[in-house]
Amino acid sequence: MPLKTDRLKKYNRYMKKIAFVSDFDGTITKKDFFQMAADELLDKTAMAPWYDYKAGRITHVEALSKIFAQIHIPQAQMDAFIASIEVDTFFHKTMAFCSKVKMPVYICSAGTEYYINKRIAKEVKEYNITLLSNGGDYSPKSGLILTPPPPTSPFYNKDTGISKEALVAKLQKDGYYTVYAGDGPPDIKAAKIANAVFARRTLLKMCQEANIKTLKFDSFKDILDYFRGIYGQE
Ligand SMILES: [Mg+2]
C-alpha cells in the first residue's frame, strides 16, 4: 500500500493488520431495533422483558426474544419498518474506505441478522462485511424469532447469544490490531480486550467506570477520520 512518509511513522504503530468490529443497534443505527419496535409497533407493556433484563432476572437474549415475539404485522409492513431504521450517514463512506484499504470489517450484533441483513444488505455485499449475529426469522403469526448459536459454537455467550468478545479474541489471536465500536452493555467484554474502542452512551459510562480508554464517538465520521489518520486520505 503506498503511504506518504509523514504517515509512515504513525502507521508503524499498526503494522499489525487492523480489523474493525462494530455493534449494529445504536452504533451503526440511531436507535435500537427493539426500542423502535416498542415505540412504534407495540403497546406500553412491551418493554417489560427489557426491565427484567436490566434487573438481572432474565438474559439479554431472552429479553429481546420476548419483545420481538410480540411483533405481528404483515410482512410488507415489517419490511417497510426495517427500511425505516436510521443508519449513520457516514457508515457507507466508512465501509467504502475500509474496503479500499482491505481492512476486514465485522458487524457483531446481539440482535438478529434478520433485520441487519435486510437494512444494510447493499453494504454487506458491496464491501464484503462479515455479519456475526443471532439467527432470526419472521412471520406475522409467530413474530420475530431470535435463534442464538448453539452452546457448542466458539462464538456462543449465554447472556447475549452471540459472543462479541470471542470474535475480538479470535481476531487478536490471528494477529489483528482490533478496533471496536459499540454503545451498550453487550459490548463491554469486547471493549475490555479490544486494542482501540469507540464508545458512546451506556458503553461509554461502563468504559469510564472500568478505566478503559475510549475514542470520541459521536458518529461514524469519527471512525472514518481515525482510519484516514492512520492510512492517509486514500
Ligand atoms: Mg448497541
- What size, in residues, is the chain? 234
**40 falls within a domain:** no
**46 falls within a domain:** no
Summarize pLDDT for 159-190 with one digit per residue, the tens. Answer: 999 999 999 999 999 999 999 999 999 999 99
**81 falls within a domain:** no
pTM score, whole prediction: 0.93
Closest-CA residue to 129 (of 206, 24, 58, 219):
24
206-226: average pLDDT: 98
Q: How far apart are CA 107 and CA 35, in angstroms?
A: 20
76 Cα–ligand 1 center, Å: 26
Q: How far apart are CA 40 and CA 106, in angstroms?
A: 29
**71 falls within a domain:** no
Closest-CA residue to 106 (of 36, 181, 183, 6):
181
23 Cα–ligand 1 center, Å: 6
**195 falls within a domain:** yes
Yes or no: say if 167 and 19 are a contact pair by the CB < 8 Å rule. Answer: no
Summarize pLDDT for 61-95 with one digit per residue, the tens. Answer: 999 999 999 999 999 999 999 999 999 999 999 99
126 Cα–ligand 1 center, Å: 23
Q: Which domain holds residue 163?
A: 5-32+88-231
**74 falls within a domain:** no
The confidence score (pLDDT) of residue 8 equals 52
CATH value at residue 208: 3.40.50.1000
The confidence score (pLDDT) of residue 80 equals 98
142 Cα–ligand 1 center, Å: 25
147-156: average pLDDT: 97
**208 falls within a domain:** yes
Q: Which amino acid, 10?
A: K
The confidence score (pLDDT) of residue 16 equals 73
27 Cα–ligand 1 center, Å: 6
What percent of the chain is predicted at pLDDT more than 70?
93
202 Cα–ligand 1 center, Å: 9
Q: How far apart are CA 123 and CA 110, in angstroms?
A: 19
Count of structural domains within the chain = 1
**19 falls within a domain:** yes
What is the pLDDT confidence band of residue 4, given thresholds at 50, 70 and 90?
low
